[in-house]
């Protein structure tokens, strides 16, 4: 289809000059002013030549990222929720709506931590299948201290869960490890308080205010998709459901609007407090799949998370959500403030 503009062929001198200017600008990183001085023309002339080089296909610009990463969705998600980083990976082609988090989320999150963690940082890891997969995939981390942010799902699985994840991350970084050898959920607040006072656990808690980067998982309020849900009795589940529980992160419950509910549950748990979590400069949530999409949205609205690693199935749901726009996550709003 004609644009109505006549395209005058470029002569050989013009082609050579355009190619030279394009090389200086795109490959050598020179500014338009520097190129103008070299060729004895105005910077506006340089700008026109570079624009013509693109229009005439003399220069082709490609933005290439690994096939598993969806750059367009990532940027859209970051902008919509006011995140510092959003990384969206392709969902498996045959993934069902109730499929668990894609395992490659952990691999991508491991690479992201390699970017975000700097020497001397304190890295916090909360219990979660996604964070465990991430720790297993770690292959580079600068020297840093690694601390466990929550107790374990079951004290008998510590070697295969968050304790091992902390040890693995510390081994990769060459830094100190501060694991927590205790269950996440206790029968009552008194037992939890007594455990928090034990030397090893208290030492880990002392590091919470020093954490600079944290990795957390997100669960939906449903069986098999939330560690806390699976640990509670039927009566307790019904109680928190009646309060509007829609998501869980590090033993903290949230309703669909991102407000924290069921604070009494936190008193029975060995976990980083919500206010301490909010003060951590970088909190990376790792969660994906359509079954977790609504829960991810709720946690993003809580103000506790700054970055997200997810998949296309969850991202599409989050980008299509209607209603009032979410609060920018980087505002770090207090979820207890209403």
Helix 312-320 to helix 71-81 angle (10° resolution) is 40
Q: What is the spatial distance between Cα 30 and Cα 46, in angstroms, rounded to a whole number?
A: 12
Q: What is the CA radius of gyration of the chain?
A: 25
> What's the CATH number where 52 sits?
1.10.10
Q: Is pLDDT of 196 > 70? A: yes
Within a domain: 315: yes
- What's the token pair of residue 307? 């970055």
Q: How far is CA 39 from CA 17, 18, 44, 163, 272, in A?
A: 9, 11, 12, 63, 61
By the 8 A CB rule, do 151 and 166 touch? no
Do 50 and 176 reside in the same domain of the chain? no
Residue 32's CB: how many other CB atoms inside 10 A?
Answer: 18
Span 292-317, average pLDDT: 93
Within a domain: 334: no
Our measurement of the distance from residue 292's CA atom to the centroid of its chain's CA atoms, rounded to an integer in Å, reads 14
For residue 94, what pLDDT band results from cuts at 50, 70 and 90?
Answer: low
Span 226-255, average pLDDT: 92
Domain count, the chain: 2
**Kind and range of the H or E run holding 206:** helix 199-206
Q: What is the spatial distance between Cα 178 and Cα 204, in angstroms, rounded to a whole number?
A: 6
Burial of 238 (0-12, 13-18, 19+ CB in 10 A): exposed
Do 259 and 283 reside in the same domain of the chain? yes
Each residue of 96-127: pLDDT tens digit? Answer: 556 566 778 988 999 999 999 999 999 999 98
Residue 159: left if φ>0, alpha if ψ -120 to 50, beta else—which one? alpha
Q: What is the spatial distance between Cα 224 and Cα 75, in angstroms, rounded to a whole number?
A: 30
For residue 156, what pLDDT band results from cuts at 50, 70 and 90?
Answer: very low
Within a domain: 331: no
- For the chain, first and last CA: distance in Å? 56
**Kind and range of the H or E run holding 48:** helix 43-55
Do 101 and 32 reside in the same domain of the chain? no
Q: What is the spatial distance between Cα 149 and Cα 205, in angstroms, rounded to a whole number?
A: 8
Do 50 and 121 reside in the same domain of the chain? no
Question: Can you give the pTM of this predicted structure?
Answer: 0.78
Within a domain: 247: yes
Do 206 and 300 reside in the same domain of the chain? yes
Do 121 and 44 reside in the same domain of the chain? no
Residue range(s) defining the domain that contains residue 42: 12-56
Do 266 and 311 reside in the same domain of the chain? yes
Share of the chain above pLDDT 70, in %: 88
Do 142 and 243 reside in the same domain of the chain? yes
């Amino acid at each position: 289809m004609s644009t109505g503009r006549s395209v005058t062929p470029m002569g050989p001198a013009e082609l050579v000059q355009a190619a030279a200017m394009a090389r200086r600008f795109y490959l050598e990183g020179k500014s338009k002013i520097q190129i103008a001085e070299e060729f004895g023309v105005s910077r506006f002339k340089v700008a026109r030549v570079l624009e013509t080089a693109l229009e005439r296909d003399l220069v082709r610009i490609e933005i290439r990222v690994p096939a598993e990463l969806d750059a367009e969705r990532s940027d859209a998600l970051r902008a919509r929720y006011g995140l510092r980083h959003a990384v969206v990976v392709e969902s498996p082609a045959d993934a069902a709506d109730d499929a668990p988090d894609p395992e490659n989320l952990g691999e991508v999150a491991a690479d992201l931590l390699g970017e975000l963690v700097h020497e001397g940082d304190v890295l916090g890891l909360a219990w979660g299948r996604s964070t465990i997969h991430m720790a297993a995939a770690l292959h580079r981390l600068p020297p840093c201290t690694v601390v466990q942010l929550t107790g374990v799902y079951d004290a008998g699985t510590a070697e295969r869960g968050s304790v091992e994840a902390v040890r693995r991350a510390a081994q990769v970084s060459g830094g100190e490890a501060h694991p927590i050898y205790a269950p996440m959920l206790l029968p009552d607040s008194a037992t939890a308080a007594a455990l928090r006072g034990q030397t090893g656990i208290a030492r880990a808690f002392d590091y919470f205010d020093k954490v600079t980067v944290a990795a957390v998982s997100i669960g939906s309020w449903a069986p098999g998709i939330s560690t806390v849900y699976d640990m509670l009795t039927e009566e307790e589940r019904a109680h928190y459901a009646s309060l509007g529980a829609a998501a869980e992160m590090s033993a903290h419950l949230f309703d669909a609007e991102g407000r924290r509910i069921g604070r009494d549950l936190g008193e029975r748990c060995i976990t980083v407090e919500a206010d301490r979590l909010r003060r951590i400069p970088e909190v990376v949530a790792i969660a994906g799949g359509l079954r977790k999409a609504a829960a991810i949205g709720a946690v993003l609205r809580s103000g506790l998370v700054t970055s997200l690693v997810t998949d296309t199935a969850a991202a599409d749901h989050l980008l299509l959500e209607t209603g009032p726009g979410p609060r920018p996550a980087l505002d770090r709003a207090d979820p207890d403030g209403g």
